């Protein structure tokens, strides 16, 4: 995959008993949160009950709202107009209710969008990346929603626009750019777009000189493309009707896509499938796997008609990925008990496991998240004690000589490798940022060890990092584990328990949520809200074992870690019970839903974006796109009664504490979302209204988008403003003016 253009393809025994009594808190009585004010005459939609009896493992349960799942959901992904009419009417009624209930927040939402827009440079551009005869970059125009992909021969030379996202989007209600890939000879462009939000991408090709479009449109792809070395063909992945990546295909320019050669087909629905090119650009890499196993195939890009060659067959419990340099493949793996990974290498002509030799040893607690070999140098990304660093070495002499580390001294920050276009290079690009410091982009000379600052993120409306304090709180989990919690606040915010706090978390799939700079979260912090990011188990902030301790039978740890993080912040005076709004999306929506079931009185509100809350039903339905590969994450309740018990014990939809006073909850969804189907938040909100007290419980359904919401940058701000305005209203900060940076 060309690396100068970023792809968009590109992120628990819970008791159902009574909630703990709220602790007496002077701060909360002296300065109570106001809560969402809804007109007494405004009533939520009445969701019809159509009971469905479900029997599993000698257990029975009734699902009153299963009817919200359209049996024709696969077709809805491709054509939302075919949605069953009674379901559409219900979702539209929910939207009408949400809009009426939050109509008083419209001025605040508008103010938030103005603030967010004021913090971005609307005509921003990336630092150009050299690739052969051109520098490639992306930029936005003032007021533009989508990026422009462009190139130039050298700084100051005339710009050549390759792909104009604003022009290409036309009048589409939804538009997303999957990938934009230039051919190796720099004459052709392959690009992929999605116009429904379902993440089915169409691929098209055009000549850069003159803009001539090829006749072929390749449909139902996952969006990624890898060009063959001769620029006459490329590889892509075809998705099936359940949105599963199933087949790698090879398309030759000028031919009918119906005749595209099948390169690889994955028969196991429990596997994910991906493609990329090695850093050397010598091989196509076909990667197959899930969270516990992997296998990789390679095809020389100079010989694209070659059959895929297996590196090593999949083994349960063993992960590996590969890259290439010279006579060796380099293999990052957890083999042999290397929980936090090591790097092996093997000859290109003998890549089988028996030929793997250790090249970078495993050190427990040092998590190797990436390894990139260049012609003369190698780079790896690591994390230790939740702090990232970049390690540089060279291939001279002993192969491992002269390693050195790029790191920073702050308590919390984010480092990321920003890409490269050439294999024979001394330069690698990385960025640094922190919750209070805007992103800085550096070019780093791996030979001289000199870093060149290429760009600092501009905040046009003004930003003074000295106004903020960034701290890392170590929260003690109930089993003794130490949870890092990153906190951003104004230095003037009192730590007497009176401040409202937004607590964010994710905690699944081993995902790492970096401590980065957010121009949007400042709209909360500048109004005296404390922002906290809990690095809970189920994520990988503290390495892979941190992830393993938050999945399957240990999933409970993710949810209790989140609540224990909140309690630690209360103990240290950052906030108080009932003054916290929790926030999570997708599997993070599962997190905040389950955490609220455990202790509803802990929170003033819940922001659940596209929340994965109907876990038991979803993971019991093998026809859904992500269910088979995620049995390794959650367990398989279809075949295993013990696994059923795990999930039944925490699934938010199935563990609402009847009659308990719940916080106000705002859930969002997307009609064409195949990752978390639209009916999950719709069912959850309906059941909350039926069984829980408190609230209100609101649903905002996007009828024209999928999992990520709008892909247009200003529309994304508007979506975020809905969440933040809801939170600020609950916090009693809807009338608060943000601190001035001027």
* Cα–Cα distance measured from residue 78 to residue 219, given in angstroms and rounded to the nearest whole number: 11
Q: Does the pLDDT at position 479 exceed 90?
A: yes
Q: Residue 32: what pLDDT?
A: 44
Query: Tokens in use for 173?
Result: 């209600």
Here the tokens at position 304 are: 């694209």
Give residues with Cβ within 8 angstroms of 88, minimum separation 6.
Answer: none
pLDDT above 70: residue 549 = yes
pLDDT tens per residue, range 219-271: 999 999 999 999 999 999 999 998 999 999 999 999 999 999 999 999 999 99
pLDDT(40) > 70: no
CA distance 699 to 667: 5
457: three-class secondary structure by DSSP:
coil
- Average pLDDT score over residue span 510-539: 97
Work out whether strand 188-194 and strand 201-207 pair parallel, antiparallel, or are unpaired: antiparallel
Among 143-152, 155-164, 216-225, 728-737, name the one with the lowest average pLDDT: 728-737
- Would you place residue 398 in the very low, low, confident or very high pLDDT band (cuts 50, 70, 90)? low
364-380 as b/e, with b when 16 or more CB fall inside 10 Å?
A: eebbbbebbbbeebbbb
Asked if residues 80 and 73 have their Cβ atoms less than 8 Å apart, the reply is no
Owner of token pair 């969402």: 36
Confidence class for position 396, pLDDT limits 50, 70, 90: confident
pLDDT at 23 over 80: no
- Looking at residue 41, its pLDDT comes to 78
Span 271-283, mean pLDDT? Answer: 97
| CA distance between the termini of the chain | 43
| CB contact at 8 A, 57 and 175 | no
643-687 per-position pLDDT tens digit: 999 999 999 999 999 999 999 999 999 999 999 999 999 999 999
Does residue 17 surpass a pLDDT of 80? no
Which sign, positive or negative, has the C-alpha torsion 345, 350, 353, 357? Answer: negative
- Residue 16, pLDDT > 50, answer no
In this predicted structure, the answer to whether residue 10 has a pLDDT above a threshold of 60 is: no
DSSP state for residue 307 in the 8-state scheme: P
Predicted confidence (pLDDT) per residue in 286-335, tens digit: 999 999 999 999 999 999 999 999 999 999 999 999 999 999 999 999 99
Q: Which residues contact 169 (CB under 8 A, 6 or more apart)?
A: 145, 146, 175, 712
Q: Using the predicted structure, report yes or no on whether residue 29 has a pLDDT greater than 60.
A: no
Distance in angstroms (rounded) separating the CA atoms of residues 307 and 300 = 9
605-619 average pLDDT score: 98
Q: Which pLDDT band holds residue 397 (cuts at 50, 70, 90)?
A: low
Transcribe 497-527 into DSSP letters. S-S-EEEE----TT--------TTTHHHHTT
Confidence of residue 421 (pLDDT cuts 50, 70, 90): confident
CA distance linking residue 160 with residue 179, whole number of Å: 18
Q: Which residues fall within 8 angstroms of residue 640, CB to CB, at 6 or more apart? A: none
Neighbours of 586 (CB within 10 A): 22
Active site residues: 586, 673, 707
**CA-closest candidate to residue 295, choices 250, 355, 351:** 351
Cβ neighbours of residue 210 under 8 Å, at least 6 residues apart? none
Pairwise CA distance, residues 585 & 486, whole Å:
18
Sign of CA dihedral 17, 19, 20, 21: negative
List the domains of the chain with CATH numbers.
50-117+487-730 (3.40.50.1820)
The mean pLDDT of the chain is 93
How large is the average pLDDT for residues 162-175? 96
| 14: pLDDT strictly greater than 60 | no
Residue 516 pairs with which residues in a beta bridge?
A: none
Q: Which helix (H) or strand (E) holds 246?
A: strand 245-252
Higher pLDDT, 559 or 24: 559
Residue 407: its pLDDT value, please? 78
Laid out side by side, the sheet with 328-333 consists of 320-325, 328-333, 342-347, 357-360
Kindly indicate the confidence band of residue 419, based on its pLDDT and cuts at 50, 70 and 90.
confident
User: Which residue, 180, 161, 181, 287, is CA-closest to 228?
Assistant: 181
Residue 539 DSSP label: B
């Amino acid at each position: 995959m060309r690396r100068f253009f970023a792809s968009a393809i590109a992120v628990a025994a819970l008791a159902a008993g009574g909630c703990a009594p709220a602790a007496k808190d002077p701060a909360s009585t002296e300065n109570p949160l106001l809560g969402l004010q809804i007109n007494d005459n405004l009533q939520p939609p009445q969701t019809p009950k159509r009971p469905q009896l479900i029997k599993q493992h000698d257990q029975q349960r009734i699902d009153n709202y299963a009817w919200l799942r359209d049996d024709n959901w696969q077709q809805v992904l491709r054509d939302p107009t075919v949605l069953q009419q009674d379901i559409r009417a219900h979702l539209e009624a929910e939207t009408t209710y949400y809009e009426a209930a939050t109509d008083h927040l419209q001025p605040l939402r508008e103010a938030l969008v103005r603030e967010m827009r004021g913090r971005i440079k609307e005509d921003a551009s990336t630092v150009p990346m050299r690739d052969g005869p051109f520098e490639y970059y992306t930029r936005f125009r003032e007021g533009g929603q989508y990026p422009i992909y462009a190139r130039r021969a050298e700084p100051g030379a005339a710009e050549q626009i390759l792909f104009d996202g604003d022009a290409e989007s036309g009048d589409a209600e939804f538009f997303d750019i999957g990938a934009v890939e230039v051919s190796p000879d720099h004459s052709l462009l392959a690009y992929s777009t999605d116009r429904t939000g379902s993440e089915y991408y169409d691929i098209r090709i055009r000549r850069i000189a003159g803009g001539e479009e090829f006749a072929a449109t390749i449909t139902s792809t996952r969006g990624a493309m890898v060009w063959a070395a001769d620029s006459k063909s490329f590889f892509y992945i075809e998705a099936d009707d359940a949105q599963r990546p199933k087949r790698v295909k090879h398309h030759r320019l000028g031919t009918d896509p119906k005749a595209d050669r099948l390169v690889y087909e994955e028969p196991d629905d429990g596997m994910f499938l991906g493609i990329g090119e090695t850093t050397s650009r010598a091989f196509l890499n076909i990667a197959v796997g899930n969270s516990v196993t992997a296998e990789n195939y390679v095809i020389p890009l100079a010989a694209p008609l070659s059959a895929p060659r297996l590196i090593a067959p999949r083994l349960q419990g063993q992960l590996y990925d590969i890259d290439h340099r010279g006579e060796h493949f380099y293999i990052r793996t957890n083999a042999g008990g290397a929980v936090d990974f090591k790097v092996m290498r093997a000859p290109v002509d003998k890549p089988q496991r028996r030929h793997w030799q250790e090249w970078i040893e495993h050190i427990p607690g040092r998590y190797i998240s990436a390894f990139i070999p260049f012609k003369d140098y190698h780079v790896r990304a690591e994390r230790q004690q939740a702090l990232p660093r970049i390690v540089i070495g060279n291939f001279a002499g002993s192969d491992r000589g002269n390693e050195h580390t790029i790191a920073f001294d702050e308590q919390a920050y984010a480092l990321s490798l920003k890409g490269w276009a050439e294999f024979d290079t001394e330069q690698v690009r990385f960025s640094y940022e922190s919750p209070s410091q805007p992103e800085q982009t550096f070019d780093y000379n791996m030979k001289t060890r000199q870093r060149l600052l290429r760009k600092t993120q501009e905040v046009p409306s003004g930003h003074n990092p000295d106004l903020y304090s960034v701290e890392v709180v170590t929260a003690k989990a109930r089993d003794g584990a130490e949870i890092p919690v990153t906190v951003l606040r104004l230095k003037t915010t009192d730590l007497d328990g009176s401040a409202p706090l937004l607590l964010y978390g994710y905690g699944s799939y081993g995902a790492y949520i970096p401590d980065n700079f957010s121009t949007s979260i400042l709209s909360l912090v500048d109004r005296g809200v404390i922002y906290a990011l809990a690095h809970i188990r189920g994520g990988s902030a503290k390495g892979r074992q941190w992830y393993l301790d938050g999945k399957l039978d240990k999933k409970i740890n993710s949810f209790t870690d989140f609540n224990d993080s909140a309690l630690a912040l209360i103990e240290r005076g950052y906030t108080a019970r009932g003054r916290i709004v929790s926030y999570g999306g997708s599997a993070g929506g599962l997190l905040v839903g389950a955490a609220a079931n455990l202790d509803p009185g802990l929170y003033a509100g819940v922001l659940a974006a596209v929340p994965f809350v109907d876990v038991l039903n979803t993971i019991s339905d093998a026809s859904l796109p992500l269910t088979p590969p995620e049995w390794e994450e959650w367990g398989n309740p279809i075949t295993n009664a013990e696994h059923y018990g795990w999930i039944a014990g925490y699934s938010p939809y199935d563990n609402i504490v009847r009659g308990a006073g719940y916080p106000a909850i705002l859930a969002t969804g997307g009609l064409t979302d195949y990752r978390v189907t639209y009916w999950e938040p719709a069912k959850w909100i309906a059941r909350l209204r039926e069984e829980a007290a408190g609230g209100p419980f609101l649903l905002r359904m996007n009828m024209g988008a999928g999992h990520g919401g709008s892909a247009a940058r200003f529309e994304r701000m508007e979506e975020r403003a809905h969440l933040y305005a809801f939170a600020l209203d609950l916090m009693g900060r809807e009338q608060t003016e943000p601190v001035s940076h001027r």
